[in-house]
Amino acid sequence: MFENFFTFRTQRHRVSFEIIRKRDFPQLDRQAHTYLDYTGGGLYAIPQIEKHQKLLRESVFGNPHSINPTSSLSTALVEETREKVLSFFNATDEYDCIFTANASGALKIVGECFPFDEKSAFVLSKDNHNSVLGIKEKAQKKGAKVNFLELTPDLQIDKSDFLKALEEVDHYDTKLLAYPAQSNYSGVKHSLQMVREAKEKGFYVLLDAAAFTPSNLLDLKDVPADFVCISFYKMFGYPTGIGCLLVRKETCCKLQKDYFAGGTVKVASTYDQTYALHQNHEKFEDGTINYNQIPALKIGLEYLESIGMPRIQLQIQKNSRQFTGALSDIRHQNGSPLIKIIGPSDMEVRGNTIAFHILDSLGQRIDLEQIEQDALRFNISLRTGCFCNPGADECYHQLKRPEVKELLDAIEINNVTKIQQLKRKRGAVRISVGMITNEKDLMTLLNFLNNYLLADARNAA
């Protein structure tokens, strides 16, 4: 149905990424913008927007919860998109796709519906987004045992600690492991082999793939996690406000839902609190789904496929290596490094995200807020802070419980001076590259960083 709205020509002649940038993302160079925040959000291609606009202009869509013509059309396109998502991740047979408001919404379903109790255990890495850490609160309130996986000094999951953690909770009836395929803080790509290793020990596995899938192809035949959260706008920029939870069909029945809304219930009554829920994805898609925007997901996935995900992955790896190498080479006049890159030196376990500190010639960190303000003048989009990942930040800066508590206490009483003082011990600068990142972007970044060399040289004089 509506194939002409979704089909992109496969680029058989391998159009260069520079041409793709000029043709499909002209807004970047038109505005002289250096975009280095792909982990924060992907960019949409102009052809995506045009195809979706054409679909909306030439169609009439209605609420899917009916069989009238507009409702049937919406339902058909939503289900086509659902199948496309499953196919893209090689998950057609074993998984169901639950559309959510975002990746956090997908994780919330797991947190609220996983059967945590006194006989269950939740094991999660310290490197996790806040949206995963929030599940810990649900687990603890229901009496579950909670264990954190430690990180090595270069922020990889400690393999010996991982195996030890699995053994420690082996006697629990129900066990859930949660970790990110790629860190949104450091860019570390954690071993996907841990999914199978945990499942062999009787664990259910929640894989946060939000930071991984924009630059890597995820094959769920090879990585059979029970729950996988996806952020589509991080993959292809448009639309925002839609994510999904991919759930293994054999695991879906473990999720226990105690709330229902329109669209999720087969029948409900005011007598005896009687109700019966739909099964599979319909059980979890509360209310009216975003039926006008969901078809745009298929358009976005088709766009990526027209270029080729393996090719995109190689290009992003190349860009990441180039940027990491260039940053590592910058030196002050006294030979000390300007940049301290966070995470492993082995590029095989790094993704498209580069977190770092900018140092003066004495090795002291430049203030993060100042860096972000300076970047504005160069029209560079980068990010500073902890990136909603306090655990990775605490591990990197070797912060202990008393130091963290001191900051929380200062925030509680709004001690601004103390907060600013303590925050200087935390955070980093983060850039992230995409397939259309080019040498011009690198040169702009290097020119921006050169200002810190010049300022330091002036101060030394």
Q: What is the pLDDT of residue 285?
A: 83
Q: Which fold has domain 52-305?
A: Aspartate Aminotransferase; domain 2 (3.40.640)
- Residues near 32 by beta carbon (within 8 Å), at least 6 away in sequence: 379
Query: Which whole number is the average pLDDT over 23-29?
Result: 98
Q: What is the pLDDT of residues 249-299, one digit of tens each?
A: 999 989 998 877 767 666 666 677 776 666 788 788 888 999 999 999 999
Say yes or no to pLDDT of 239 above 70.
Answer: yes
Q: What is the pLDDT of residue 3?
A: 52
Banded pLDDT at 460 (limits 50, 70, 90): low
* Phi-psi map region of 90: left, alpha, beta (phi>0 left; psi -120 to 50 alpha): left
Q: What is the pLDDT of residue 104?
A: 97
Banded pLDDT at 1 (limits 50, 70, 90): very low
CATH class in words for 310-387+427-460: alpha beta
Q: What is the pLDDT of residues 403-445, one digit of tens each?
A: 777 777 777 777 667 667 666 778 999 999 999 999 999 999 9
Question: Of 189 and 277, which is predicted with more confidence?
Answer: 189
Q: What is the pLDDT of residue 52?
A: 98
Paired strand residues for 247: 96, 227
For helices 439-460 and 309-329, angle between their N-to-C axes, nearest 10 degrees: 20
Q: What is the pLDDT of residue 267?
A: 65
Share of the chain above pLDDT 70, in %: 90
Say yes or no to pLDDT of 214 above 90.
Answer: yes
Say yes or no to pLDDT of 12 above 70.
Answer: no
Query: Which whole number is the average pLDDT over 384-390?
Result: 96
Q: What is the pLDDT of residue 249?
A: 95
Q: What is the pLDDT of residue 2?
A: 47
Mean pLDDT of the chain, nearest integer: 92
Q: What is the pLDDT of residue 418?
A: 67
Q: What is the pLDDT of residue 279?
A: 77
pTM, two decimals, is 0.93
Domain ranges in the chain are: 52-305, 310-387+427-460
Q: What is the pLDDT of residues 330-349, one digit of tens each?
A: 999 999 999 999 999 999 99
Banded pLDDT at 197 (limits 50, 70, 90): very high
Q: What is the pLDDT of residue 34?
A: 99
Q: What is the pLDDT of residues 75-117, one digit of tens each?
A: 999 999 999 999 999 998 999 999 999 999 999 999 999 999 9
Say yes or no to pLDDT of 143 above 60.
Answer: yes
Active site residues: 388
Share of the chain above pLDDT 90, in %: 81
Say yes or no to pLDDT of 372 above 60.
Answer: yes
Q: What is the pLDDT of residues 147-162, one digit of tens each?
A: 999 999 999 999 999 9
